[in-house]
Structure 1
Amino acid sequence: MKHSSEPHPHRWKVYAGHAALVVLSMAMLAGCGDNALNPLIEKAPEAAVSGLHGEYPIAGASSQLPAAATWIAGIETSAPDLHISYDPSGSGAGVSTFLQKGVSLAASDVPLSDEQRTRSQQACALGEAFEVPTYLSAIAFAYNLKSAGLNNTSNPVKLTPVTITRIFNGTLKFWDDAEIKAENPEIATKLPHLSITPVWRSDKSGTTETVEKFFHATASSEWPGTPQETWPFDAGQSAKGNAGISSTLQQAEGTIGYIDFSQVNELGAASIITQQASAEKGEKEIVVAPGTAAATKTIAHSRLTTAGEAGSVLVDTDFAIRREGAYPLVLVSYQIACQTYEKDDTAHFALAWLDWVTSPAGQKSASQITGSAPLPTNVRKKVTKSIQAISSLKQASAPHTAASTRTTDLRRL
């Protein structure tokens, strides 16, 4: 058996401002001194962001907030006249604001629906909006078994997808259930006779939908319903947001919930048995812990699809993947932009921003600070074509002056 694991990522810090609008600046991520850029954050190449100025709000998925802090810090350092704010209002609210022309870019854990794609034609100067993946994160099944000595990476609880699903649908009641002990022979004697309390999101969440897709793909008999952004069962208790679940888990032993890997901290994180040993089939057990490299590997081996006419790139995550070192439960979050904007400056900003966010340097910054998983090379190559097609209405009528000629390709620097 090979058991892959990674250390918990660096913790991040941001500050909420007036009316929950979060304005992130490089000082908030300083490594030393009030105005010093954290050394773990890459700086956007000045040649790539030359001329960018003005104020640009972005709204949407709260999942991308910590990563957005690093991207903003890195680009504003190189473009001091540029000021970007990120409002973690939620995927649905961010998309609505974008469709109402309140922001030029939005972030969402869920791809645009057909209806939203059609409505985006009213928000864009020409054609429709598109989305590309910008943020990946392993979703951990975090638990609190501190008194049993199991809140560590050296001997974590390991579970098959079916067993995890039976925990969350309320079928399995105690941590020393025979089913759980059978999957954990090394620590079976340490598993306490303690009630299992599943903790789930009370708010509509793209993370919840991703977890339900995982359950449905790997244990459909235990989770027959259609995956959705709301939780369908009453077992356990609810909490709002990643932070709410994390707080609840820390306060009570016996709890287990799903949270972003970056927020595991002192909790335990279950490893997933993606393949059980079978002498008959000649298959060995594959156990994978949540981590950045493990999440990236899964997405690298998942299918990419398209939608609409403006170059959307979507990830069809392989939740049932059986590869060494590939963690199956990964949140894929997107950023949404117009292919054509009315103003040159807005098009220049959107292109430069997305180019920076999806570049190796931008992805590395987010990963080092927040524990997010970098986009795999095959995905970055796919999204480049869509991003480089961004232009203004004026530029769209004169292809030889397309916006892509105004911004250095960050992947080559």
Structure 2
Amino acid sequence: MDETPTAELASALDLLCDEGSPVEWSVPAEALVRIGEPALFPLADALASARSPEVERRAVWTLARLEVADRGSYLPLLRHPHAEVRHTALSTFKFQGEAAIDYADQLMPLLGDPEADIRRQAVLAFQAMGGSAVPLLERLRRQPATGPRIRATALEALAGIGGPNALSDRDLAAWRRLTRIKQLVEVPENLHLCGSWFAVPSVDQAAVLAAFDLGDPEPVTLRTGASAWNHDSHHWHGKRPHERCARVFVSPALDGWTLVFGDSSQDTHRVEDADDPEAVRGEVVRERCADLSRRFGAAHWYGMSCGDGWTAWCIAEDGEVVRFYDAFEAEEGALGARHPAESGCLLPHETVDTGDALDSFLDELSNAGDQLDVEDFYSRYAQARRDLGIPDTCYATDIAARLSVDPGSLGTPGARTRISGSGVLALTACGRRYGHPAGALKA
């Protein structure tokens, strides 16, 4: 039976929202996508009135993908009273890139939306526009009538487009004043560790900067420094090669140690230009630690991954590497005898044969099901390991805690880390030539 477009739309929408339908929901979703603009407002209504997270998810997916001749068809939805409708409509402009500049005036109010997620989506949309959005955002910054929320979000978008280089002298001065204020009252937080860092036993920040060939240090809070390190390490999409090694976060003195998060331009380019980058990375780390230990008496390097279980460390004293361990190269790549800091622990690649005892205990815990919460499960599992005489496994953070400072525990209750001086973001040779990477950082 032939259906009119209106009937087809109504039928597809009913199927999309019917969780009990035997028809796979992607079928009506694709039909609505092809229908395009006529489905725009019915889908927005379905999203706003969705009675379950599943129906909401389906409506969001479909609404964001409609085949429309003009992206401006979504503009009325930016004023919709339902936040998820505004958020979904706004997301479609983010993927237009520079072409979205044609709609910038209509997108600007979303920079001041009451919902934080929508403000973040608006920032991403303006970032995607690139340099052409800078004059518009600067205009917003100069207009007090726009309100503090929209001006603050416009500043974030400017930083996202061009980093500190995109900020006016007035905005930079304001950011520096805010940094000084926050440093006075900052409570250290546990740093999110996914990458590598160096540690040297020195409170002489100038000497550390010189050792890594760093310049133009800009005082920052621990929170901002950690944000820069994580941003530069993980936001690779669309990043120019030199931005990967443009800056380094140098911590304040922590219990007499200075930590350096990031790599020099020389080290980074040497690794990236090598035929076997992983092998060269180990060489670079060992050479760097040996050189630092000649300057400071000792030097450490630590590495952690939050995804695949990788962990590594290098310990150098008086110009010599006394221990290098990489969990992924433990059999062939380790250097030096087991270090005293590793005593009483299993290394990540080591196992202990306990027969069936531990497996049986794990089966018992699994059978307990919902009677155990996660904390109770791990507590009982740890006790079982102790009862069976299985040592704990040590990771880079454990070695760091024993030998220097564990940056992942700075905010742990009861931590008594002595902090002196100010952390800084400093530029490498690439950074001094090309400037800071684009991207807004946490204050």
TM-score bin, normalised by smaller chain: under 0.3
State the TM-score, normalizing by the size of structure 1.
Answer: 0.23
State the TM-score, normalizing by the size of structure 2.
Answer: 0.22
Q: Which has the higher helix share?
A: 2
* Greater Rg over alpha carbons, structure: 2
Q: Relative contact order (alpha carbons < 8 A, sep ≥ 6): 1 or 2 greater?
A: 1
Q: Which has the higher strand share?
A: 1
